[in-house]
A and B are shown apart, each in its own frame.
Chain A
Amino acid sequence: MLDLALLPDGGISWLDGSGEHADVVLSTRIRLARNVEGYAFTGRAREGERLRVLQSVRDAMPHVASLAGGVVLRVDELAPNDRQLLHERHLMSKELAGLETSQGVRGGAAVVLAPGVGVMVNEEDHLRLQALRSGLELGDAMAAVDRLDRELGSRLPYAFHDDFGFLTACPTNTGTGMRASVLIHLPGLVLTKEIAKVLAGLQTMGLTYRGLYGEGSEVLGNFFQISNQTTLGRSEEELTDHLARVVRHVIQREHEARRVLWRDAGYIIEDKLWRAYGTLRFARSLTFDEAMNYLSGVRLAVGLKLITGLSVYTLNKLLIFCQSAHLAYAEGRALTESEANLARARYVRQALEAEADPLA
């Protein structure tokens, strides 16, 4: 079993509830797709080529200040639950973790985890550099990933084309290779049914949205990942500035929706949210979807100041730690679905008991 103490900050400093608008925005992520010149892209490379790409990253690491104190984890050497766990922590994609049904783990797949930044190696592109931050912190995330990019790019030759920019396996990433995304909690807009309009609006502004785990994942617990759709024809700064402007606008709309809900249906909302809290506090078995939905309710209740004494950090941690691989890790063994539901309810109950009692 993977020793999580080896990971810098346990890989979860992005949960700490710091950063702008942390009650609404769970996290900010910026990733840059890069390929190393001289090798076929991951999907077409031989295992030997992929291993050499990984070795070139290892060789570069001592010269890359951003990766100081980092660890390299060979994904193809990790147990399935550990791979799932790193995916649940948003430290690597489903594809890299080999959790896509169509294919297993690729030889040479690895993840470099350093304080505040990471590199996925041999994902769809050779390198996926990323920075993850708590709250709405596009500037900080960009500065960190840009520094890593410059340091690594001065040791490894990236594939770059004068007209097309950074070359990637999928043409939808070519150019800046950048995807900036913000994971945002929008229960107010969902409850007032304004969400469809907001999401349609995003698309007309060159942005797109996904579920909690990125591409192809469903929307759970009213969490949406908003990101730039295109990567060519605009600079990195233009893309992130535009995203920041739109996200601030969405946050404003969310707050307005919450005010309307509270004004027009205060007692219904109050009842619904306390029921959510009651279920989490006392239930003996919880499915993951149930937990997500009730946690969404409690998060809204904290935002409305209906429930006090619960920190954003606790709420964030609950989202991550009540996932199945985290529960199995805590129990030290594989769990059946019903065992996981019991363990989940127990974990949530204990976490809420440890916090100040909102009824006191």
Chain B
Amino acid sequence: MLCEVCRERDASVHLTQVVDGEVTLVHLCPKCAAEQGVETTVTTSPKNVLGEFLQAVQQQANTAQTDAVRCTYCSMSLRDFRATGRLGCSRCYATFEQSLRELLRRVQGSAKHVGRRYVAPEPTILARATTVGELRDRLRRAVENEEFETAAALRDQIRDVE
């Protein structure tokens, strides 16, 4: 259930208000509740929230096909994530974007970064060895995952760089 004020975060505060004898139920997220001066004493640690989410993922995975989805780079699945609580690589964030957006909203109260922005340096500034190393890693992964077309393309790229 979403918070009735911001409509962004999950509502975890359920407030019963009595105004002029009329009873209404208001659902708020902890942040909006705090802003409205509602004191909440019950809190859940992030670990528990993460645990709950991972359980939800498990139930989903058991019934749906989500379990079959693997990250194209590190071949991690949601099942692996559930087991470790850790993602495999930066591309997992794109692969499991929907699930992660929901998880971040629950665990962090938001899924939108508002801190420092970052632009990666131009590839030219990076050492060539790093690039070849990276390509070799991808090649090895592609071969392991039997993605032979990708592997062939990567082999050509490595030859070009070298």
Cβ of A44 under 8 Å from chain B: yes
Report if B115 contacts A (CB, 8 A). yes
B residues within 8 A CB of A230? Answer: 46, 107-110
Residue B21 is within 8 A (CB to CB) of chain A in the complex: no
Interface positions, chain B 122-142, Cβ under 8 Å from A, are: 123, 125-127, 129-130, 133-134, 137, 140
- Can you report 19 residue pairs joining A to B where beta carbons are below 8 Å apart? A37-B120, A40-B74, A41-B87, A41-B89, A124-B86, A154-B125, A155-B126, A156-B121, A166-B113, A167-B90, A170-B87, A172-B50, A204-B34, A208-B46, A231-B108, A233-B110, A233-B111, A234-B114, A235-B116
Q: Which of A132-180 contact B (CB under 8 A)?
A: 153-167, 169-172, 174-176, 178
With A40-B73, A160-B118, A233-B112 in contact, do A171 and B90 touch (Cβ < 8 Å)?
no
Tell yes or no: A274 within 8 A of B by CB: no
CB pair A165 B137 closer than 8 Å: no
Q: Are A169 and B114 in contact (CB under 8 A)?
A: no
Give A contacts to B, CB under 8 Å: 35, 37-41, 43-44, 46, 48-49, 52, 55-56, 59, 124, 153-167, 169-172, 174-176, 178, 200, 203-204, 206, 208, 229-236
The docked-state distance in angstroms from the alpha carbon of A231 to that of B111 is 10
Are A44 and B74 touching (Cβ within 8 A)?
Answer: yes
Contact A169 B86 (CB under 8 A): yes
- What's the least CB distance linking B29 to chain A, in Å? 11
Contact at B115–A174, with CB atoms within 8 Å? no
B3 at the interface (CB under 8 A from A): no
State whether the Cβ of B76 lies closer than 8 Å to any Cβ in chain A: yes
**Within 8 Å CB of B126, what residues of A?**
155-157
Interface centre among B89, B93, B103, B114 (most CB of A within 10 A): B89
Query: Assuming the A-B contacts A167-B90, A171-B100, A175-B115, are A43 and B84 also in contact, with contact meaning beta carbons closer than 8 angstroms in the complex?
Result: yes
Shortest Cβ distance from residue A166 to the other chain B in the assembled complex, whole angstroms: 7
Query: Which residue of chain B has its CB nearest to the CB of A205?
Result: B34
Assembled-state Cα–Cα distance A136/B82 (Å): 38
A149 and chain B: residue at smallest CB distance: B116
Q: How long is the Cα–Cα vector from A314 to B134 in the complex, in angstroms?
A: 49
Residue of B nearest to A166 (CB): B118
List residues of B whose CB falls within 8 A of some A CB: 30, 34, 39-41, 43, 45-46, 50, 73-74, 76, 84-90, 93-94, 100-101, 103-104, 107-116, 118, 120-121, 123, 125-127, 129-130, 133-134, 137, 140
Contacts A44-B76, A46-B137, A164-B100; is A170 near B85 (CB within 8 Å)?
A: yes
Cβ contacts under 8 Å, A155 to chain B: 121, 125-126
The answer to whether A37 touches B90, judged by C-beta atoms less than 8 angstroms apart, is: yes
Residues of A with C-beta under 8 A to B133: 48, 52
Min Cβ gap A119→B in Å is 17
Chain B residues with Cβ under 8 A from A153's Cβ? 118, 120-121
**A243 CB to nearest chain B CB (Å):** 14
For A38, the chain B residues whose CB sits under 8 A away are: 130, 134, 137
